[in-house]
Structure 1
Amino acid sequence: MSTFLIAFIISALLSLFIIRYATTHSLDHDLKGVQKFHARAVPRVGGVAIFMSVIATSAIATYRSPGQGYSLLILILCSSIAFFGGVIEDLTKRVSAKRRLLLTMLAAGAGYWLLDARIQRVDFVVTNFVLLTWVALPLTVVAVAGVANAVNIIDGFNGLAAVVTMFMLLSLAYVALQVNDTFVLVAAVAVAGAAAGFLVWNYPAGLIFLGDGGAYFLGFMLAELTVLLVMRNPSVSSWYALLLVIYPVFETLFSVYRRLFVRGRSPGMPDGIHLHSLIFRRIVVWAAGRSDDVRALNLRNSMTSPYLWLLSLLAVIPASLFWWHTPTLMGFCLLFVVTYVWLYVRIVRFRSPRWLFIRGRKR
C-alpha cells in the first residue's frame, strides 16, 4: 500500500507541475482530428509524470529491498525505449506509428534477453505446450508490442486508457500476491499508483493527457509484467494473460479487420468508429445533449470512459478470480468476444440497448 501511495503522490505533483508549466510544443492543439474529442489545447505529456514517478518509487522500493533493484532497473531501461519514442512523437509529431511500433518491439526484445520475459508455454485443458526459442522470441516481441500499441489505441477519452490499465495492473498485483511474486507485485503497484496520480488531473477535467509516451509506457509495463507473472509462476494459466488484456487487444484486432476487410483501407489508417467513439457519438451525445461549448464537450468526454471501464471489468474480474483455471478462462475469453461484437453491431446499426442510456430520452 505504501508503494501505491508514494507513486500516487509523486505522479499527482509532477502532473500538476506539467500542467502549470507546459510549453507550446507539449500541447495538443489538434481539435478537429477524427479521434479528437477535446475543446482546448491540453498538455499531452502526462506520461512523463508517470514515468518519473515509477522511477522514483522504484528507487525507494530498492532502498527498502535491495534484492529487487537490478530487475526494476532493467525493466525501466527496457520500457524507456518505448516511452521515449512516444514522447518524441508527442513533442515533435515526427515519429511515425511504424517507428513507434518498431521501438516497442525492440524494447520487448531487450526484455526477452535481459529479464527473461518470454512466452514459452501455452496452456490447454489437458496439456501444456512448451515453445521453442525460434517461436517464443517473435511471439513475445509481437505480443508485448501489440499490447502496448493496443493501449495507445484505446487512449481516446479522459481516464479511459489509464483506468483500464490500472484495473489490469491491480489484478496482476493481486495474483502476484497469491503466488508470492514480490517483484511483479511491487512493480505493478508502483505503475498503478502512478497512473492513479495522473488521473487526479486527467479525469474528469481533462487538464492533461497521457500522450503516446504515457500510453506506450503503460502498455509496455502491463505486457511485460503479465508475461513475467505467467512465465515465472507455472500455477498461473497463460489464459489469464489473454483474458486480462483482451479488451484493448481485441479492440485492436477488430479495428484491423474492420479497416482492412470491411472498409478496404490500410489497417494503420485512423478512423472514428472504434467502440469508444461510437459510444461517444451515439449514446453519450444523445444523453448529454449536442452543445459544442467547452463544458458540454468535456462532460460528454468524461461520461464515455465509464462504459468502457465496465466492459474491461467483464474480463479483468473473472481473470482475477480464476487465474489458475484454464477451461474457465477460455470460456470467459469467448464470452467477452461475443459480448463485444454483439454490442458493437447493435450500436453501429442504431439499435443500442436501452439500458445503455443514462437519461430517459428514447431513440
Structure 2
Amino acid sequence: MSLWFLLPLVVCVSSLLTWVLRRYALSRSLMDIPNARSSHSVPTPRGGGVAIVLSYLAVLPLLGYQQWLGWPLVAGLMGAGAWVAVIGFLDDHGHIAARWRLLAHFMGAAWLIAWLPELPYLAIFGGVIDLGLIGYVLAAVMLVWLLNLYNFMDGIDGIASVEAITVCVGGALLYALVGIPMMATAPLLLAAAVAGFLTWNFPPARIFMGDAGSGFLGIVLGGMALQGAWVAPQLLWGWLILLGVFVLDATFTLLRRLMRGDRVYEAHRSHAYQYASREFGAHLPVTLAVLAINVLWLLPWACVVALGYIDGLLGLMIAYLPLAVLALRFKAGQLEET
C-alpha cells in the first residue's frame, strides 16, 4: 500500500472521528468550562485527541506488515500509546490520583523500552557512551516527562497539534538524512492523524485534545526518539532539539515552581506560552510563533546534528539558548499576579 494513499486517508479519518467525538461531547456535556486558571473564555468540548489515538493505532500495524517498521517497534509504540491514552481518557472523564497516574505512566514507558532491541548509546563529543542500567532509568524518566510536559503544554488552541505536526515532519526528514527513510513513515502518519484533528482544533478551537490525546502524543514522540537513536545515536539529540519549545518551557516552568514550593500538579497559567497568549490577547499569534520557531530555527539545527556537522549536545545548547531567553521574557514559571 502506498504511503501517499495512506497519508490523506488518515487525515480524513481523523477529522471525521473528531467531528463524531465533538458531537458526543456536546451530547454528554463533556465540556471544558473556563475558570480562573483557564486560557480560554468559552465552554468547549474536550476529548478530541481520541481521534488521533484511534486513527494512528489503526494504521500503525500496516507499518509492520509493509516492513516499513520492525514489529517490535510497532508493538512498543502501540502498547505504550494505547495504555497511556486509556489512562488519560479515564482521567478526562473522572479523576485519577496523581500517584496512580504516574505509576501508570512508568508502566507504559517500561513497556515501550522493553521492545527496543537494546538501549541506544548516548552520542556525545564525538564518542558514544553505554549508560547501562542507569540508561534505562533515564530513558523511562525521559518518556514520562515528555508525556506529562505535553499535557502541561496543551493549554491554548492549536499549540499541541502544531508542535506534533512540525516535530513529526522534522523527525521524518532526519530519518531521510541519515539514510533510513522507511522509519520516516511512522512520524509522517502521526502527523497526518494530528492534522485531521487540527482542522477542528485550530484557533479558535471547536474541541480540545484532552489528556488522552496529549499523553499519547508525548509518549509516542519520546518512543520515536529512542527508536531513532537506536539506529543512529545522534538522532536522540535531533528529536530533543525539535521538541525544544515544549521541553524548555515546561522544564523551566516546573523548576521555577518547585523552587517556590508550589504544588506542581495544580492547574496554573504560568507557562511562557500562556503569558504570551495573554500579552498578545489571542492564541493564534503564539501558535504561529511556535510553528515558525520549529521550522525556521529548531529544524535546521536538528538537521546539522543529524548529519554529524556538530556535536549533539552542543547543537542542543545552541538551539535552546534563544528559547531560554524567550522563557525569561515571557515569565515562564513566574507567580501570576492576582
Residue of 240, 243, 248 corresponding to 1:242: 240
Identity of aligned residues (%): 23
Distance apart, 1:24 and its partner CA: 5.5
Are positions 1:4 and 2:7 aligned together? Answer: yes
- 2:123 match: 123
Corresponding letter in the other structure for 1:306: L
Are positions 1:172 and 2:155 aligned together? Answer: no
Partners of 2:96 and 2:27 lie apart in 1 by 18
Are positions 1:52 and 2:50 aligned together? Answer: no
Question: Which runs of structure 2 are paired with 1:212-251 in the superposition (5 Å)?
Answer: 212-234=211-233, 236-251=234-249
Partners of 2:254 and 2:292 lie apart in 1 by 23
Relative to structure 1, is the Cα distance of residues 130 and 65 closer, same or farther in structure 2, using a 3 angstrom cutoff? closer
Q: Residue 143 of structure 1: SS of its match in structure 2? A: helix
Residue range with higher mean Cα deviation, 47-56 or 324-333: 324-333
Partners of 2:68 and 2:311 lie apart in 1 by 38
Partners of 2:69 and 2:288 lie apart in 1 by 39
Could you list the per-position Cα deviations for residues 136-179 of structure 1 after superposition, in whole angstroms to 9, with x for gaps in the alignment?
A: 21111001111111111111111101111111111121222334
- 1:359 match: none
Relative to structure 1, is the Cα distance of residues 27 and 3 closer, same or farther in structure 2, using a 3 angstrom cutoff? same
Distance apart, 1:33 and its partner CA: 4.2
Corresponding letter in the other structure for 1:278: Y
Corresponding letter in the other structure for 1:39: V
Given that 2:125 and 2:313 are in contact with CA atoms closer than 8 Å, whether structure 1 keeps it comes out as no
Relative to structure 1, is the Cα distance of residues 255 and 98 closer, same or farther in structure 2, using a 3 angstrom cutoff? farther
Q: Residue 252 of structure 1: SS of its match in structure 2? A: helix
In the superposition, the TM-score normalised over structure 2's length comes to 0.87
Corresponding letter in the other structure for 1:271: H
Distance apart, 1:47 and its partner CA: 1.7
Could you list the per-position Cα deviations for residues 287-329 of structure 1 after superposition, in whole angstroms to 9, with x for gaps in the alignment?
A: xxxxxxxxxxxxx233331122333342233203431327354
Residue range with higher mean Cα deviation, 236-245 or 155-164: 236-245
Partners of 2:30 and 2:192 lie apart in 1 by 24
Q: Residue 128 of structure 1: SS of its match in structure 2? A: strand
Given that 1:237 and 1:324 are in contact with CA atoms closer than 8 Å, whether structure 2 keeps it comes out as no
Given that 1:123 and 1:326 are in contact with CA atoms closer than 8 Å, whether structure 2 keeps it comes out as no
- 1:78 match: 80
Could you list the per-position Cα deviations for residues 179-233 of structure 1 after superposition, in whole angstroms to 9, with x for gaps in the alignment?
A: 4435632221111110011001110231111100100101111000111011122
Partners of 2:182 and 2:141 lie apart in 1 by 24
Partners of 1:60 and 1:330 lie apart in 2 by 35
Relative to structure 1, is the Cα distance of residues 209 and 114 closer, same or farther in structure 2, using a 3 angstrom cutoff? same
- 1:13 match: 16
Give RMSD over aligned pairs: 2.5
Partners of 1:337 and 1:60 lie apart in 2 by 36
- 1:108 match: 109
Corresponding letter in the other structure for 1:139: L
Partners of 1:3 and 1:117 lie apart in 2 by 30
- 2:293 match: 311
Q: Residue 242 of structure 1: SS of its match in structure 2? A: helix
Tell me which stretches of 4 or more aligned residues in structure 1 moved more than 4 Å: 23-26, 59-70
Distance apart, 1:111 and its partner CA: 1.1
Structure 1 runs not aligned, ≥5 long = 286-299, 350-363
Corresponding letter in the other structure for 1:155: D
| Max Rg structure | 1
Relative to structure 1, is the Cα distance of residues 322 and 102 closer, same or farther in structure 2, using a 3 angstrom cutoff? same
Given that 1:176 and 1:184 are in contact with CA atoms closer than 8 Å, whether structure 2 keeps it comes out as yes
- 1:203 match: 202
Corresponding letter in the other structure for 1:78: A
Given that 1:315 and 1:332 are in contact with CA atoms closer than 8 Å, whether structure 2 keeps it comes out as no
Distance apart, 1:109 and its partner CA: 0.5
Relative to structure 1, is the Cα distance of residues 96 and 163 closer, same or farther in structure 2, using a 3 angstrom cutoff? farther
Corresponding letter in the other structure for 1:126: G
Could you list the per-position Cα deviations for residues 112-148 of structure 1 after superposition, in whole angstroms to 9, with x for gaps in the alignment?
A: 1123473x4222223221111x212111100111111
